[in-house]
């Protein structure tokens, strides 16, 4: 077949096919993206159903408050995750100080802690009756609230702090990977030009890592936008709190969907703006000369500061909640054990693992599809599909259930008419619905990670493979797949950890008698009995630990030119 090109007639056909091929890829990509985006489209269409107008009332009263608090929240969170994530990533990749090897992976640990659990633990410890204030009162002899000032934990500051501590690992992981990948030449050249460590960071390393850092910050901010549990707990009325209020207190699901649609538009605008700001600045590694990174040796107070800076988020974001949960678990473990502990743990793990595999597969298809088939339509469709992460979970669940139940009912009516058999709810009454919800919610994680990995594979590789006669699928399996294995693993593990923690979609879409660790914990937490379910909560954290540690170690090993021998002393001056 390879020689068929010599026949003039077939040559033109081949050309036509070649010209058509991208379209086919584009069409397929668009179709898959729309499949994932269907719940979002459903939410938008619910918004169009007639309902009493809510905007006049909101505009007159709380709308600007919602917007203001939401903006403050994501700005604070963005800043917090940037400082913590990028700062720690730079320290552990580029500097040498005591405990660096430990921090290297320990800094990812808070990712395994669900935000609502950290929120609870923080309040439990920091409020007036919490251990800290009790101790302070004892030490200083204060008797009541009037004797001293202490910050109110149930506040915007509390919400930003808690979310930052749980979400900075996204930025840390991505920034660290970016720093590790940077060609040593760039850094050495900048040093040769007389830049000090500080200038190297601000003027060279940071701009080079910007796309990765922005992806991490975007994920964190989207998570904050969809959050209800934490902001509700802290009494911070954000836009999402408003969505739930209109839905449940004003009995106006259509109005709630309108608000949710505005939220989606807001996210799209943010993403587009960031991309426009970055346009024209393309970051390529002009040199592929890579060796173990040179590092700065920190001593004295500088080393102490570095240790403190890295230890703080690990202690507050992981050690504190894990130990508080452990102490409650020791008291109340019987409640969890009585409740089919093994089954719900297994449910959580199986569900999250299936979702991870499915999300990575879809993410790979979309990322590869975009690579093969250029064009604005598939690109837009994929971007749209990945904003599901910013949509409040319960609203997204309604977006899943409406089209899925409609499909089920159509099949049922058809089968009833033709075969006389009722099929009932084939999909929407099963865990398939939850998986679909997860897929839409976490596409930003899976697709984003895979796309980033694929982006690093030079297109010359594709060209070479195709020239040698490999089909796109073969090129993918033989060339791309091995090269982006780490990215795929990272994507899968991130989705897994997030699914373990996921609550609103699971609780609405699960079938009878089906519980996960998160829904189990919620059952108690919603009746003000969180401590009783501490073992369940602790298991969520523990189950998240394994993938999180794998994550930390693989990104480390993935560094090109970084042999196994160097594994122990990364960054040792070569």
Residues that bind another protein (CB under 8 A): 1, 57-58, 60-62, 65, 128-129, 144-145, 154, 234-235, 237, 244-245, 247-253, 331-332, 339, 394, 397-398, 401-402, 404-406, 408-409, 412, 422, 424-432, 471, 473-474, 504, 507-508, 510-514, 519, 523-524, 526-528, 531-532
Q: How far apart are CA 74 and CA 66, in angstroms?
A: 12
Give the CA radius of gyration of the chain.
Answer: 25
User: Which residue is associated with the tokens 């990215």?
Assistant: 487
Supply 377's token pair.
């339509």
Tell the smallest beta-carbon distance from residue 46 to another protein (Å).
9
Of 261, 263, 257, 241, give the one whose Cα is nearest residue 50.
257
CA distance 41 to 403: 10
| Comparison of 61 and 343: residue with beta carbon closer to another protein | 61
**Which region, left, alpha or beta, applies to residue 292 given φ > 0 means left and ψ of -120 to 50 means alpha?**
beta
- DSSP class of 373: S
Nearer Cβ to another protein (67/319): 67
Output the smallest distance, CB 159 to another protein, in A: 12
CB 103 to another protein: min, Å: 35
Q: CB of residue 12 vs another protein: minimum separation in angstroms?
A: 20
Q: Which is nearer to another protein, 374 or 527 (CB)?
A: 527
Q: What is the largest CA-CA distance in the chain?
A: 96
Q: How far is the CB of 154 from another protein (least distance, A)?
A: 5
For 208-222, letters b (16+ CB in 10 Å) and e give: bbbbbbbbbbbbbbb
In the complex with another protein, which residue's Cβ is closer, 188 or 412? 412
Q: How many CB atoms lie within 10 A of CB 361?
A: 15
Tell me how far apart the alpha carbons of residues 130 and 60 are, in angstroms, rounded to a whole number: 39
Q: Answer left, alpha or beta for residue 299, where phi above 0 means left and psi between -120 and 50 means alpha.
A: beta
* DSSP tag of 389: G
| Nearer of residues 153 and 174 to another protein, judged by Cβ | 153
Q: Compare residues 523 and 554 and give the one whose CB is closer to another protein.
A: 523
Q: What are phi and psi of 512, to 5 degrees?
A: -60, 140
What CA–CA distance (Å, rounded) separates 449 from 484?
A: 10
CB of 232 to another protein, least distance (A): 8
Query: Please, are residues 36 and 443 in contact by the beta-carbon 8 Å criterion?
Result: yes
At its nearest, how many Å lie between another protein and the CB of residue 234? 8
Nearest CB to another protein, comparing residues 349 and 432: 432
Closer to another protein by CB, 471 or 569: give it. 471
- Smallest gap from Cβ 494 to another protein, in A, equals 24
Contact 552, 142 (CB under 8 A): no
Nearer to another protein, 190 or 340 (CB): 340
Sign of CA dihedral 88, 94, 95, 99: positive
Instruction: Give the C-alpha separation, 450 to 103, whole Å.
Output: 26
* SS3 annotation, 110-168: HHHCCHHHHHHHHHHHHCCCCHHHHHHHHHHCCCCHHHCCCCCCCCHHHHHHHHHHHHH
CB of 336 to another protein, least distance (A): 11
Nearer to another protein, 58 or 495 (CB): 58
Cβ at position 47, least distance to another protein in Å = 14
């Amino acid at each position: 077949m390879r020689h068929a090109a010599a026949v003039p007639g077939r040559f033109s056909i081949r050309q036509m096919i070649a010209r058509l091929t991208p379209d086919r890829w584009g069409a397929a990509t668009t179709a898959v993206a729309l499949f994932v985006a269907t719940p979002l489209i459903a939410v938008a269409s619910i918004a169009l159903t007639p309902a009493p107008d809510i905007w006049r009332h909101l505009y007159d009263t709380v709308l600007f408050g919602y917007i203001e608090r939401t903006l403050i929240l994501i700005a604070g969170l963005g800043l917090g995750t940037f400082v913590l994530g990028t700062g720690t990533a730079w320290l552990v990749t580029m500097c040498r100080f005591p405990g660096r090897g430990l921090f290297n992976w320990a800094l990812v640990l808070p990712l395994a802690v669900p935000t609502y659990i950290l929120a609870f633990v923080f309040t439990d410890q920091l409020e007036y009756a919490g251990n800290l204030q009790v101790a302070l009162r004892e030490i200083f002899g204060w008797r009541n609230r009037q004797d001293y000032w202490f910050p109110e934990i149930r506040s915007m500051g509390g919400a930003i702090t808690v979310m930052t501590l749980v979400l900075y690992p996204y930025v840390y992981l991505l920034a660290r990977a970016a720093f590790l990948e940077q060609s040593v030449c760039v850094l050495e050249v900048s040093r040769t030009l007389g830049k000090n460590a500080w200038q190297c960071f601000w003027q060279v390393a940071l701009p080079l890592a910007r796309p990765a850092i922005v992806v991490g910050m975007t994920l964190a901010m989207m998570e904050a936008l969809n959050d209800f549990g934490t902001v509700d707990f802290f009494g911070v009325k954000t836009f999402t709190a408003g969505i739930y209020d209109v839905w449940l207190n004003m009995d106006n699901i259509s109005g709630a969907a309108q608000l949710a649609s505005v939220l989606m538009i807001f996210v799209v605008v943010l993403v587009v703006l960031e991309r426009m700001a970055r346009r024209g600045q393309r970051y390529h590694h002009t040199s592929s000369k890579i060796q173990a990174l040179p590092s700065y040796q920190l001593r004295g107070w500088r080393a102490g500061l570095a240790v403190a800076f890295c230890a703080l988020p690990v202690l507050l974001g992981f050690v504190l909640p894990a130990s508080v949960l452990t102490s409650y678990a020791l008291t109340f473990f019987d409640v969890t054990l009585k409740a089919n502990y093994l089954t719900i743990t297994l449910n959580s793990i199986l569900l999250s693992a299936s979702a991870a595999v499915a999300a990575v597969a879809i993410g790979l298809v979309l990322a590869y599809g975009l690579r093969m088939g250029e064009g604005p339509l598939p690109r837009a469709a994929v971007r749209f599909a990945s904003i599901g992460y910013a949509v409040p979970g319960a609203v997204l669940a309604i977006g899943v259930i409406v089209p899925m139940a409609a499909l089920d009912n159509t099949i049922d009516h058809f089968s009833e008419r033709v075969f006389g058999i009722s099929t009932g709810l084939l999909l929407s009454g099963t865990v398939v619905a939850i998986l679909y919800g997860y897929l839409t919610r976490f596409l930003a994680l899976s697709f984003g990670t895979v796309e980033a990995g694929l982006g690093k594979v030079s297109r010359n590789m594709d060209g070479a493979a195709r020239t040698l006669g490999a089909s796109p699928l073969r090129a993918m399996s033989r060339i791309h797949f091995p090269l982006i294995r780490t990215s795929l693993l990272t994507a899968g593990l991130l989705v897994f950890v997030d699914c373990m923690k996921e609550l609103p979609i699971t609780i609405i879409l699960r079938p009878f008698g089906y519980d996960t660790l998160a829904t189990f914990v919620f059952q108690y937490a919603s009746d003000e009995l969180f401590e009783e379910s501490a073992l369940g909560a602790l298991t969520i954290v523990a189950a998240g630990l394994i993938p999180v540690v794998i994550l930390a170690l693989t990104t480390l090993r993935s560094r090109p030119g970084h042999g196994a021998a160097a594994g122990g002393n990364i960054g040792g001056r070569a």
